[in-house]
Chain A
Amino acid sequence: MLLKEIRSLIAKDFRYEMRRRYAINGILLYVVSIVFVSYLSFLHVNRIDSETWNALFWVILMFACMHAVSRTFVQENMNRQYYYFTLASPQSVILSKIIYNGLLMFALSLLCYIVYILFLGNKAQNELMFILCVMMGSIGISSVLTMVSAISSRTDNNFTLMAILGFPLLLPLLLILMKLSECAITGTGWLTALTYFLLIFLLDAIVLVLALILFPYLWRD
């Protein structure tokens, strides 16, 4: 029952996105142009070192994700959302949004990685680990940001609040992700990286459970 609801909600979100393609195109263009701007601002340095490469990647990704996710609960008007809530349980609504945003963010980060390689070069020695790290990160970042966007959508200044509420909550995840991607960049073995994978998995799980518990209170107006 729950699975069926989630599946149809995700399908609905996907169709909605395809009908309003300018929104997603805007975000894709945002990623490409922000990478290009960083490339131009690092031109005079000749070679960008791997620490900067890593930090810049996650900062770009974080801003892009924040833009992408902040639309989640404001793109459709309130009345239509009430209608969804009469159809589906709050758990499946939040889960479908988290999964949808997670997929979107994974796609965004892959695009970001590709454009990043084109302009700034590939510093990651272990590409598979880097992509895995980005994938696990997408789940966690999407759960935190989806929940925060649900909270901030209830206020008037949605985007400012989204940023100030989101950044402190994203930092723990982001710091571990940066450590893990550092492992991927320096080519450290899988065994050393395992601790970080476990930590990210733990954080993802806790944030997901929290979102599932707290979201029903949020939409009950």
Chain B
Amino acid sequence: MKKNYWKIAAVILLAYTIIAGFFGDVPDINGIHQTIRNLYFHVCMWFVMIIMFCVSVVFSIKYLADFERKNDIIAVEAANTGILFGILGIVTGMLWAKFSWGQWWVNDSKLKGAAIGLLTYLAYIVLRNSLDDTGKRARISAIYNIFAFVIFILFIFILPKLSSGSIHPGDGSDSPLPILTIGSNMRIVFYPAILGWTLLACWIMQLRIRYRKLKL
């Protein structure tokens, strides 16, 4: 029970996110109105995806340093969880885009970055599955993971400079992050939501890692 306190915290935080997210007070901004509640879900998905990809690349580097099998398992499961949250992020984002911009997909630097990130990591999974030898698979996919992650992160930073700004809030305007422009009554839901979703992702990852270790 002692080791599981963070799982209880995840459940409580997510329950709070869902209840306060749907019933709490939100400012009525022109154009998005009540869909702003999607902030607690959509934006958090991307945070979690980036965190998971960071975890994945850290364990890939660790794998290349000591060639421990368990580091490779953590790396691949972090990438899998990241992909899951990335897909959820795209789905919630498309719903939001349909209601506020009128289209499922728009030409926007953040959307392009997200799509490239997902393509990169799906390719990583295909690469893994096309190698049979476990040691070789772990080593080669770790190399690809590091190579791809650096280019992906560079891409996210370079992309907004290439296109004439994003229609996402926070790009090119005075605030670097959309969080800073929202009111304090949204912040008290938004920050716990990020933590809650991150803990949930860790939980999913932990279960998947255990499953994989059992299969060995």
Contacts and interface: CB of A to CB of B under 8 A. Distances in A.
A207 B146 CA distance: 11
Given A151-B140, A179-B162, A206-B154, A168 B131 contact: no
A169 B147 contact: yes
Contacts of B159: 172, 175
B151 A172 contact: yes
Contact of A168 (B130, B148, B162): B148
A154 interface: yes
Contacts of A154: 131, 136, 140
A49 interface: no
Q: Is the interface of A mostly helix, strand, loop or mixed?
A: helix
B115 to A, nearest CB: 9
A157 interface: yes
Nearest to A179: B162
Given A157-B130, A165-B123, A179-B162, A171 B150 contact: no
Interface residues of B, number: 27
A108 interface: no
A56 B76 CA distance: 37
B127 interface: yes
Contact of B146 (A144, A165, A199, A214): A214
Given A155-B130, A217-B64, A176 B158 contact: yes
A165 B129 CA distance: 13
- CB-CB nearest 6 A-B residue pairs: A172-B155, A168-B120, A168-B119, A155-B130, A164-B123, A214-B143
